[in-house]
Amino acid sequence: MSLYDRVFINNQAWIAEKKATDKEFFQKLSQGQNPEFLYIGCSDSRVTVEELTGAGPGDIFVHRNIANVVSNNDLNVMSVIEYAVAHLQVEHIVVCGHYYCGGVKAAMQSSDLGILNPWLRNIRDVYRLHQEELDAIDDEDARYKRLVELNVEEQAINVIKTAVVQKAYLERGTPIVHGWVFDVHTGNLIDLEFNFEEKLRKIQAIYNLTRVVQ
């Protein structure tokens, strides 16, 4: 039986399993959500954040798109960030990329991909910003992996550029923005451990949006 044919059977099995450990599970779930963090990741079917982190329903607010891009004129991702920070008051925002990302790979190649061109342009821009470092890496696989990491870092910086994140951090000291990479080859989730405060300071030298114009 194909997965498509199995989904509703699987769903019933999942309900039974949840109720077996907690009778009130769905009653509690229907009372609202209070997720601790926002996860911005790639749409890639192999990168299933809940499964690989052990999170359950209600734990993580999620946005996924091709190559985990945070573009300032993308109403979708910007609305997700606004809602997660201003309304759900998440404490952490994670941008998570993954090695062997088809979107990043496509952005390293010279081909016309139609409507994907403007999307992948975001990643080509990351390459241009770090061209010196990337061009110096001879091994293509290593260069590709490094671009995945740099893309995570630049997209996290794009999150930090938003007014809602800067203002919330000034008022309550959260959210903290993190960068992760999932290694599809080993299953490891890697924290790039960048210094959020330092990044925020650098960004605010140019992109400070915390002041209200009278």
Catalytic residues: 42, 44, 46, 98, 101
Q: Which residues, in sequence order, are bridge partners of residue 180? A: 96, 191
Q: Which residues, in sequence order, are bridge partners of residue 97? A: 181
Q: Least distance from C-beta 101 to Co ion, angstroms?
A: 3
Using CB under 5 A, which of 94, 101, 159, 165 touches Co ion? 101
Could you say which residues in the range 40-69 bind Co ion, by CB under 5 A? 42, 44
Cα-based distances in Å from 51 to 56, 59, 75, 184, 187: 8, 12, 28, 13, 11
- Residue closer to Co ion, measured from CB, 83 or 100: 100
Name the nearest CA neighbour of 104 among 71, 148, 47: 148
- Residue closer to Co ion, measured from CB, 74 or 91: 74
Name the nearest CA neighbour of 38 among 85, 78, 74: 85
Q: Which stretch binds Co ion (CB under 5 A): 22-30, 85-93, 102-110, 124-132?
A: 102-110
- Residue closer to Co ion, measured from CB, 5 or 140: 140
Q: Least distance from C-beta 95 to Co ion, angstroms?
A: 12
In the DSSP assignment, the letter for residue 73 is: T
> Interface with Co ion by CB under 5 A: which residues?
42, 44, 101, 103
